[in-house]
Structure 1
């Protein structure tokens, strides 16, 4: 048995096409276009690529992009002032601070400055609190993307054993809560979990989000499990060429699993799609109130 591929790239295109159609309907009834502001600090090459991809995605679906790029000499206070201005800008519906930031900055402090209703990344404590309480709110993009992939492929979660390997506030913790919301029985495992392989082999749904290249091997996977690979790790060949791998040893594990996400082309594109969805949802809420 070879696993069926869960194609996040194709699903992301579908979501973006739907958003594009929805935005044009809003423009047709004389509403403004939704707007997303992405703040980037410094010259991290990976961050620059991610920001470009987000700006291109905005352009493609007809969403306004208010990108702001700052040198790493900018101060914490200056960034906070920019966020306050964007909070008050009626043309901006989503605000995102591109992570990681240079070490001197208090990233959490900046995230807290974003108005919860414009928190496109779903990381403000108020939105995380709403997730804990099962209330409606903006959801963290990568976990929300994982949930969309599972739903689009009609993968039933109710009563299933789900193991999330990774406990970050970006992915592991919010994803565990989203799985619980769908009535899965959830275990969070991490670097200090004893006998990790025994824990992962119990999983009907196994999600790897640890940032360690190909650490989930075939012997750690229950036959016919659904395997979701959130990891994106850049490695180099001997001649210096870069390539991407996930946290799952894909070639091995695809022979054991029933479904698997590839890297690239799995969860990654869905993160951007859910960022756009969050921004549109925020926009719709604000347009309807006005």
Structure 2
């Protein structure tokens, strides 16, 4: 299987790198500067499972894509989606499958309009990773998984073929007939985590230890879950229990990557993770004009972005 990984950052670099190390035909679509870095230093993964280095990394610039790929693995930031689609468009043919691992749901519509809904899978990646100062990929926990499936829940041969290629990387892979449900569930969890840790500029444990912190987080989680339910994706009991265990663990150092983006003066995915969920809440007449923690969290992130832009 000919695989194109869009970008070689923390997520795409990790999963693509693991597959390339296992012998899969993986090419990274990158900009020239990143291509030069990878040519000079290789792709380095620092992980609880040990350090790995991929030398002779296969990279390609958008202008030099030489034809369709079988699989496009997409892990860009949401605000880069339009530019990313332009860059990998030459790699998409009639038989190409696109597996996005973005948060939220809006990207499915955008990708479907550009490349056809039949070519798009739903996907969720579970990993905590970042790039360090040397551009090495640092996996911060031992969790590394990709869950994907057809958007209509049907089983098709391409699912088995893609799963077989992904599994060579040694990370966990699951093909599901309920990927849309799982995407909504992750969205609820992430919006709660990002919204609260950004709003209060603190870890879960610090928020819970502050007066009113736990009540505020519970209100945000319940609000996000209500949006999902109003769109036909009520939280399943096992997921809700796991989420509450993680989100309300006393002393937890857990924060969202969006908070790290703010602390580092970077752009955020506030529109995609918080804004789109808020827009869907406003479509729900039952929500009415009740006080909205989600709206407060989104306003906070947008105020940061306005200041950052200046």
The two structures have a TM-score, normalised by structure 1, of 0.31
Structure 1 or 2: more helix by fraction: 2
Bigger relative contact order, structure 1 or 2 (CA pairs below 8 A, ≥6 apart): 1
